[in-house]
Amino acid sequence: MSLATKIDDIAGALGSADTSAQTDWLKAGARIITDIMPVEKVELYASEVTDTGSGIDITGRRMLYDRTHKSGRPAPLFSAAMKAQFADTGSIYYATEKSPISYVELTKLYIKPSGGTGVGMTYPNPSYSDNSITGFPPEYEYGVILYAAIQQKIRQIADKLVSLEGITLDTVTAPSAPSAPAITYSDASAALVDAVTLGALGTAPTYTKPTVSLTAAPTITDLDLSGISAPSVPDAPSITYSDAAAVATAVTTVSALGTAPAYTKPTISLTSAPTINDLTIKAVPPAQLTAPSFTYTDVDDVAIDSTSIGTVPNAPVYTPPTFGGAYTNTDTALSNTDIELANAHLNKVQAQLNEYQTKIGDSVNTFNSNRDKFNADVQKLLEQARLTQEKLFEEARLTTDVQKQNKIQALQKQIQEYQAKLAKYASEVNVYSILVTSEVNEYRANLEKEIELWTTKRANELQQYSLDIQNELNKFNKEVVEYQTDFNHKVEQARITLQEALEDAREANNIALQNEIQTLQALISDYELELRRYLGQVDAYAQQINSSVQQFRANLDKELGIWNTKRTSELQQYSLDIQNELNEFNKELVVYQTEFNHKVEQSRLDIQKALEDARATNDIALQNKIQGLQALIADYQGDLGKYNAELNEYGIAVGQAVSKFQAQIGQITQGHNMLIQSLEAIKKEYNDFIASI
């Protein structure tokens, strides 16, 4: 299974695959894990790099600075600010072949004098298509995949919100107001009597979609531990002194400090997964019954033969399904101590088993259905044979022709024999059906029993493996305590032994002996200071690592938290802006409709007055003008009614478009929240994994 598939299994696939980004995330995650993994793990994958005098490029490696040497002589790491002293023959820091030094400046490690050898682990270079990470501890590979899954989940969240910006409000066009005509009429003498004009209707309000500006997703930088290196264990000196006669009176040597304990991963022995053989049916379906051959023709030339009864159908045959699952991937994942991946494979095989058992049930149902149809067809044949017999019986009863009766009796005998064969054939098919059902039930029972037994054993073995892991951790912690106790004991024992030597020296008056003792005291003091410095460096190293990791995690959680809060607030404000804009639109629409109705009513009153004035006159020419005016008014009132209906439809359409728009935003917001929850779960698993390193 490729690394990209493993990332998709945890975070879900991207809407549009981005293999280049997945490769970058895997490289960044591998670098972070490499920088925080224990030194003993780094040593397993480290290699020597030669400095010929121009320095070693350290940008692509995690260096083990305490392993730097020149021809086998340690080259301790100093500050680059002291490099002038390394070349000064009068300085105690002057670098020589027997006392080399090293320092880091910019992106290079320098070893003085004139080069040496550095030791470091090259950062892995995984690709999305790889099945594993080359040159990297397999037990830490899952942490790299989790890191990449976090980045992919963040990308999914960003893509989800980008899709929000692509949502558009359905276009709803406001209706155009009809032109208001100028309506006038004059009396016969051309003197203006009245003029009626409808006020301007204005423009119908439109809904304006608000805009949204979203905060960009934060950029997650890699955890950088390149400036933190583990301290070197000081060499234990051999401290001796002799009396004035050069006779050794005491020898004081600090015991070897031994090797710090290492955690040993327990092994797991698993019961082999059961082999699931495909269902095979031993029962054999009965041979197809051959249709009989008989023919009879009566005196009226009416033919009766085997086709009058019908063709015998084929007996149904049970076809079992096949099982396509396997436990190989589960066992492989467990052998690599990848319990999460093993559970994923196990769930997949369990789903295949359930599907297989369902198919077995479906195939049995299909077989039973075919059997029932077969029985019905056979019964139909038997009934047809019976009806044919009755017809022959009736014809034989009515005829006195002896020869014809003999033919009828012979035909009846053939039909009876055929009926007996049909009955036997149907019985054999039913027996075959019973055997098939019995074999299928027995197979399913055995399969379920074997799977249950294996599942129980596997559960017990995995539980024991989990206990072994905890026991090994307890053993490791115990050995660490014992190592620290032994370390302190040996240092204290050396101090006591040296103290006794000092007491002996104080009782002597030999000047030469006193001088040796003073030299011894100086060596002891230097070594005690070196030990204290070493312990202090170990504590400082642990504190730096913990501080850097905690600060990185805190910054990551803080940035993602602030970003998520801002995004949530912006989406909420966007939803409010949509609703406020809709409320404003509805308000303007009500005002517009009120004004519209008012102007229409005022026009109606003016027209009514003009018509009343017209009724008071008997001038025929004036009456004709009034009738033309009435037709124009009726047409315009029809246009106004249509416009008012279009306004109502426009308001409804705007409401529907906004509701649809809000629903789309709600779906994207809900998907965004689900992605955030999934991201938090993956982050927690990643943080727990980092803490366990």
Specify burial of residue 577 (Cβ count, 10 A radius: 0-12, 13-18, 19+).
middle
Q: Per-residue pLDDT averaged across 454-470, rounded?
A: 79
User: Under a CB-based contact definition with an 8 Å cutoff, are residues 288 and 315 in contact?
Assistant: yes
User: Under a CB-based contact definition with an 8 Å cutoff, are residues 230 and 64 in contact?
Assistant: yes
The pLDDT assigned to 539 comes to 66
The answer, yes or no, to whether residue 441 has pLDDT greater than 70, is yes
For 394-428, the DSSP string reads HHHHH---HHHHHHHHHHHHHHHHHHHHHHHHHHH
The pLDDT assigned to 297 comes to 65
CA 309 vs. chain centroid, Å, equals 65
Band the pLDDT of 152: cuts 50, 70, 90: very high
What single letter denotes the amino acid at residue 643? Y
CA–CA distance, 7 with 150 (Å, rounded to integer) = 9
Residues 6+ apart with CB under 8 A from 19: 4, 128, 129
The answer, yes or no, to whether residue 251 has pLDDT greater than 50, is no
The answer, yes or no, to whether residue 395 has pLDDT greater than 60, is yes
CA–CA distance, 7 with 29 (Å, rounded to integer) = 12
Apex CA 549: angle with CA 140 and CA 14, to 5°?
60
Give tens-digit pLDDT for 482-514. 877 887 888 788 778 777 777 776 665 567 667
Specify burial of residue 468 (Cβ count, 10 A radius: 0-12, 13-18, 19+).
middle
Tokens found for residue 589: 């629409």
Give tens-digit pLDDT for 43-53. 999 999 999 99
Band the pLDDT of 248: cuts 50, 70, 90: very low
CA–CA distance, 649 with 667 (Å, rounded to integer) = 27
Query: Measured between alpha carbons, how far is residue 220 from residues 60, 114, 217 in Å?
Result: 20, 40, 9
The pLDDT assigned to 620 comes to 76
CA–CA distance, 358 with 368 (Å, rounded to integer) = 15
- Residue of 275, 273, 448 whose CA lies nearest to 346: 273
Between residues 659 and 332, the one the model is more confident about: 659
Phi first, then psi, for residue 48 (nearest 5°) are -85, 145
Q: Per-residue pLDDT averaged across 141-164, rounded?
A: 89
The answer, yes or no, to whether residue 335 has pLDDT greater than 70, is no
CA 501 vs. chain centroid, Å, equals 68
The answer, yes or no, to whether residue 614 has pLDDT greater than 80, is no
CA–CA distance, 423 with 430 (Å, rounded to integer) = 11
Q: Per-residue pLDDT averaged across 623-631, rounded?
A: 76
- Lowest mean pLDDT across 73-82, 290-299, 373-382, 458-467: 290-299
The answer, yes or no, to whether residue 609 has pLDDT greater than 90, is no
The pLDDT assigned to 46 comes to 96
Between residues 692 and 259, the one the model is more confident about: 692
Helix (H) or strand (E) holding 562: helix 511-615
Apex CA 557: angle with CA 344 and CA 225, to 5°?
90
pTM (predicted TM-score)? 0.41
In the chain, what are the domain boundaries?
A: 3-149, 295-484
Percent of the chain with pLDDT over 70: 75
The answer, yes or no, to whether residue 84 has pLDDT greater than 80, is yes
